[in-house]
Structure 1
Amino acid sequence: MGAKGKIVLFLVVICIVLLIPFAANAGTKTEGAVVSLDTPTINALSDKGCIEDAEYMRGHHMVMLEQWRDDVVREGDCTYTSSSGQTYEKSLERTCFSCHSNPDEFCSSCHDYAGVAPYCGDCHAMTDAELQAGR
């Protein structure tokens, strides 16, 4: 077998190896993450909308939260104006968690499903006293 034949054989073997995971999962359907919106605050709302539409929040919430963090910490800008014109405080705890008071069910279910480990809890699990002390 010449050099060209070895290269072609090598490429075929690599393609087969790379396609094995796809072939193993072919025809199977994976259920998405189960998100619980069952909180007393959300249940009491007549309009169950978030600060932006659900599709936007699913795809861009982390970008929004990182931008909020930068705006608040670096610029002192603490007010968010939504696309509908409503204003909100740029606060994970006081804005987001005021409705989504079930982060273990709401946040963690999607983050676990997607295999991501957000670092929000590095700061937001601390008490206000610990934050003010600079810990």
Structure 2
Amino acid sequence: MYDSGKIIAGLIIFLILVTSTVWSGKATLKPELQKATQGKKCVAETKWMTANHMDLLNEWRDKVVREGERSITINGVKYDMSLTKTCLKCHTDATKFCDKCHNFLAVEPYCWDCHVVPKGGK
């Protein structure tokens, strides 16, 4: 091949351009969420809740349904283990809070199969 140097150089430039957002740290696209309308403090830090809320909700569901536990104390504060009574008390609009991330990530949670949709709708 007479143009192998040009092809290899082109491929290297292409790979650098395609992957530049990943290794430059600029791949931080995320939806802008509505702030909590009430309440001062969540059961955990925002960063942790963003990554782990589904695990927390599954754990709470299992404890309530299977073990009959209804509340939990975190850092000296007692919370109901309830999506409706705890989470949705502050995050009242599903379309401006829950759906923003779930749609962005193409995730369809099954919360609303059992729980009442907050007044903001679904």
TM-score (structure 2 length as normaliser): 0.70
Q: Which residue of 2 aligns with 1:118?
A: 109
Percent sequence identity over aligned pairs: 36
1:73 aligns with 2:65: yes
4+ long deviations beyond 3 Å: 25-30
Counterpart pick for 2:86 among 88, 95, 103: 95
Give the root-mean-square deviation of aligned CA atoms. Answer: 2.5
Distance 1:119 1:94 in 2: 18
User: Structure 2 regions of 5+ residues with no counterpart?
Assistant: 1-10, 118-122
Give the deviation of 1:94 after TM superposition.
0.9
Count of aligned residue pairs for this structure pair: 100
Alignment of 1:1-135 (within 5 A): 23=18, 26-27=20-21, 29=27, 31-37=29-35, 39=37, 41=38, 45=39, 48-82=40-74, 84-125=75-116
How far apart, in 1, do the equivalents of 2:28 and 2:66 lie?
Answer: 41
* Larger gyration radius, structure 1 or structure 2: 1
Report the alpha carbon displacement of residue 103 of structure 1 after superposing the two structures with TM: 1.5
Distance 1:125 1:95 in 2: 13
Q: Distance in 2 between matches of 1:108 and 1:120?
A: 12
Distance (Å, rounded) in 2 between the aligned partners of 1:64 and 1:52: 10
| Kept after mapping to 1: 8 A contact 2:31/2:101 | yes
Report the Cα offset of residue 113 of structure 1. 1.1
Deviation track 1:4-63 (CA, whole Å, cap 9, x = no partner) reads: xxxxxxxxxxxx9xx98x83x755856311101162x2xxx5xx3211111211111100
Extract unaligned runs of 5+ from structure 1.
1-15, 127-135
For the Cα contact (< 8 Å) 2:36–2:92, is it kept in 1?
no
Matched residue type, 1:76: G
